[in-house]
Amino acid sequence: MNNIIQGIASFQGNVFPGQRQMYQQLVRDGQQPSALIIACADSRVSPEHITQAGPGDLFVCRTPATSCPRPPTWSAASSSAIEYAVVALGVRDIVFCGHSDCGAMKGLMNRDLLKRMPSVASWLRHAEAAERIVCEAYPEGRDAQARHHALALENVVVQLANLRTHPSVAAALAKGSLRLHGWFFEIETGALLAYDGANGRFRPIAGADMPVAQDSSTGSRLQAA
């Protein structure tokens, strides 16, 4: 804990005094984050750090494997975070951020790793569709690293599909007030890929070019009469 204790002292002694007004304004005006980011709980994947966001910029929900349950197994924690972000805060964007070298994805590929972690194993059921896709629809013969990479990418797409079943998300998409994004952070290179829902591919986020997984113009729903 020493590094954490030192960090707190540094924040209170060196950082907060220079940011006091900003924090007080965030209390006075309330938070207005522009996006909800759902990311893996992995300590190397910090949404605030990789987007260089500050206090008040992002509403963040972190779960192992960046998973989003769907009915009837909604997790109260992640479901309420999504609902609060969409309904109370009115975020315009939700981002799912998967990453390389994900321990949860390794557990999905090798269930022996999960034998002593029944809670993790149960949670990873929400990512099982991604595993089935890689096992049954990808060519055999790929090495473990390539399959792990494919699984992590497929998991982002599967979780986006789960997210669309959330009532508050479905309604906001139908109103055109919300966009969905699927990101993949490559820890070792710092690269950030985004899922382009129009052509079903991940591509790098470059400058102002931000691929979108789904907005009001994509996806399937009844057109208004």
Tell me the closest approach of the beta carbon of residue 40 to Zn ion, in angstroms. Answer: 3
Binding mask of the shown chain, residues 96 to 135, with x at each position contacting Zn ion by CB under 5 A: ------x-x-------------------------------
Q: Output 104 or 172, the one with its CB closest to Zn ion.
A: 104
- In the window 191-210, what residues touch Zn ion (CB under 5 A)? none
Question: Could you give the angle at the alpha carbon of 99 between the alpha carbons of 180 and 81, nearest 5°?
Answer: 45
Tell me the closest approach of the beta carbon of residue 170 to Zn ion, in angstroms. Answer: 26
Q: Output 38 or 102, the one with its CB closest to Zn ion.
A: 102
Q: Helix 76-83 vs helix 167-175: angle between axes, to the nearest 10 degrees?
A: 20
- In the window 167-186, what residues touch Zn ion (CB under 5 A)? none
Handedness of CA 208, 220, 200, 40 (dihedral sign): positive
**Whole-angstrom distance, CA of residue 161 vs CA of residue 149:** 19
Q: Output 172 or 183, the one with its CB closest to Zn ion.
A: 183
Number of residues in contact with Zn ion, rule: CB under 5 A? 4
**Cα dihedral value 8, 12, 15, 17, nearest 10:** 170
Tell me the closest approach of the beta carbon of residue 146 to Zn ion, in angstroms. Answer: 18
Say if residues 86 and 116 touch (Cβ distance below 8 Å). Answer: no
Query: Is residue 15 helix, strand or coil?
Result: helix
Residue 168's CB: how many other CB atoms inside 10 A?
A: 16
Say if residues 126 and 70 touch (Cβ distance below 8 Å). Answer: yes
Please name the amino acid found at residue 214: Q
Binding mask of the shown chain, residues 24 to 63, with x at each position contacting Zn ion by CB under 5 A: ----------------x-x---------------------
Tell me the closest approach of the beta carbon of residue 177 to Zn ion, in angstroms. Answer: 29
Tell me the closest approach of the beta carbon of residue 34 to Zn ion, in angstroms. Answer: 24
Q: Output 42 or 154, the one with its CB closest to Zn ion.
A: 42
Tell me the closest approach of the beta carbon of residue 102 to Zn ion, in angstroms. Answer: 3
151 scored as a contact of Zn ion (CB under 5 A): no
Which residue is listed with tokens 């986006």? 160
What the block records as the tokens of 200 is 């079903």
Tell me the closest approach of the beta carbon of residue 46 to Zn ion, in angstroms. Answer: 12
Say if residues 95 and 62 touch (Cβ distance below 8 Å). Answer: no
Q: Output 26 or 120, the one with its CB closest to Zn ion.
A: 120
Task: Catalog residues that contact Zn ion under the rule CB under 5 A.
Answer: 40, 42, 102, 104
